[in-house]
Amino acid sequence: MAPGLPTAMDRPHFIGIGGAGMSGIAKILAQRGARVAGSDSRESATAESLRALGATVHIGHAAGHLADDATCVVVSSAIRADNPELVRAAELGVPVVHRSDALASLMGGLRAIAVAGTHGKTTTTSMLAVALTELGLDPSYAIGGDLEGPGTNARHGAGDIFVAEADESDRSFQKYDPEVAIVLNVELDHHANYASMDEIYDSFETFVGKVVPGGTLVISADQPGAVELTSRLRDLSTLKIVTYGDSPSADVRVHKVTPRGLTSEVTVLLDGRYLTFTVSVPGSHYAHNAVAALAAGVALGIPAHNLASALGKYTGVKRRLQLKGEENGVQVIDSYAHHPTEMTADLEAMRGATASDSSSGRLLVVFQPHLFSRTQELATEMGQALALADASLVLDIYPAREDPIPGVTSTLITDAARRAGADVTPVADKATVPDVIAGMAKPGDLVLTMGAGDVTDLGPAILARLSN
């Protein structure tokens, strides 16, 4: 049986309750019987889903939103110290709990799988959640995106397994004690918190060091950062290390990935036997995510052939190459990619999808950079990635939690893209994008909206304009 409410979490108040990570924790607490309340900056479908679970959700931030009988205030690293609800919590003496601590408390007493890596966490966590549910194991899960089928990012299950994303961005993943840890890749990102790769490696080493004695690390055998991390971990005698990937030395070897339109067929070699299954999203990187999920499930003692079949039931997660629709022969797909590695992987996947469909259509991209700090450090690489598209529109930077940095604009990206030979056009007014795309797109083309900000909102508007 899954445990009940953690101590002092029976009347939590979430600041920023609509966020991907925060809302998942709030949903699980509500399903466990907590009286959940919180606030967010704007109305959303997530806010409505929380209200349907009995939560009180305020729009906007004000001191009066915090109830006098709240037992704790849950925050993420994005919440500023001058937030009026946080200030009010200090006045009332209400304990403040970081999101990661709240999630760690929910995992207590369960067999936890923590999925880490610079890219691919949401997809891999989702694949595991779907497969374990399909096998009747009724897991709990907290994901950074909404599953296509259930339409939610979190669930309290009656089983003894908890699957969660482990966020490295603010080092909060160091607070978990998983039975199985997955490390998909290790790259330099989140430049406001990490100054070098050495700091990244140190952070991941601490995360892996929290795996319970006798537990398992599932880690890529191909990605250079993951390989380097593995070389630093071999002296951990209480840890079993399972590698996966294309490398001939991988414990779970990816034998073949065959593109089939917007899906892939994956064959792996495990314990001397071949297993073949289907992944519902295109691209080799998503196939490798599925293999990591397979290896993690096997580490928990689940038969590999059962897992392989159950992984075929995964139908996707919102914003991870999500097909938003098709109008007049033009498909519109949404991608959360915002780091150059992710951008390149998704663009290559879309190239492979059009090739396997024998399509002569073009790949048109609408890209919205995410964060000034990331653009400052990686603008050149983002521009080079956009050279994989036939044509791209580049929007202004989505700031999220950051203040502007002088001289850092999306022009850095468009200039780099042009140097790389890309056909790229800056667009200052996001509202004009549907008209611009409608003037460019022809039957057979793919339109990819890409970025971690509100560029996702353009998909329906583009489809509506294409229908006219």
CA 180, distance to chain mean position in Å, is: 18
SS (H, E, C) 104-171: HHHHCCCEEEEEECCCCHHHHHHHHHHHHHHCCCCCEEECCCCECCCCCCEECCCCCEEEEECCCCCC
Neighbour count for residue 19 (Cβ, 10 Å): 22
**Residue 197 parent element (H or E):** helix 197-209
Asked whether residue 121 is marked as a ligand-binding residue, the answer is: yes
Catalytic residue among 165, 179, 327, 342: 165
**Residue 320 parent element (H or E):** strand 320-327
Catalytic residue among 27, 46, 71, 122: 122
Note the pLDDT of residue 358.
Answer: 47
Q: 80-137, pLDDT tens digit by residue?
A: 999 999 999 999 999 999 999 999 999 999 999 999 998 889 889 999 999 999 999 9
- If you count them, how many residues does the chain have? 468
Note the pLDDT of residue 5.
Answer: 59
**Residue 201 parent element (H or E):** helix 197-209
Note the pLDDT of residue 2.
Answer: 47
Highest mean pLDDT among 169-178, 183-192, 241-250: 241-250
Catalytic residue among 27, 121, 175, 430: 121
Domains and CATH numbers, the chain: 12-97 (3.40.50.720), 108-311 (3.40.1190.10), 320-467 (3.90.190.20)
- Active-site residue, 175 included: no
What mean pLDDT comes out for the span 382-397?
A: 96
Confirm if 179 and 216 have CB atoms less than 8 A apart.
yes
CB-based contacts of 82: which residues, under 8 Å, 6+ apart? Answer: none
Note the pLDDT of residue 445.
Answer: 92
User: What letter does residue 451 receive in the DSSP assignment?
Assistant: -
SS3 42: coil
Q: 16-62, pLDDT tens digit by residue?
A: 999 888 999 999 999 999 999 999 998 988 999 999 999 999 999 99
Asked whether residue 414 is marked as a ligand-binding residue, the answer is: no
Asked whether residue 122 is marked as a ligand-binding residue, the answer is: yes
Name the burial class of residue 44, with classes exposed (0-12), middle (13-18) and buried (19+) by CB atoms within 10 angstroms of its CB: middle
Closest of 336, 363, 352, 323 to residue 450, by C-alpha: 336
- Active-site residue, 121 included: yes
Please give the full DSSP string across 239-276, using - where no structure is assigned.
Answer: -EEEEEESSTT-SEEEEEEEEETTEEEEEEEETTEEEE
- Active-site residue, 165 included: yes
Asked whether residue 125 is marked as a ligand-binding residue, the answer is: no
Q: 335-383, pLDDT tens digit by residue?
A: 988 989 889 988 988 887 665 454 568 999 999 999 999 999 999 999 9
Note the pLDDT of residue 353.
Answer: 67
Please indicate, yes or no, whether the overall pTM of this predicted structure exceeds 0.85.
Answer: no
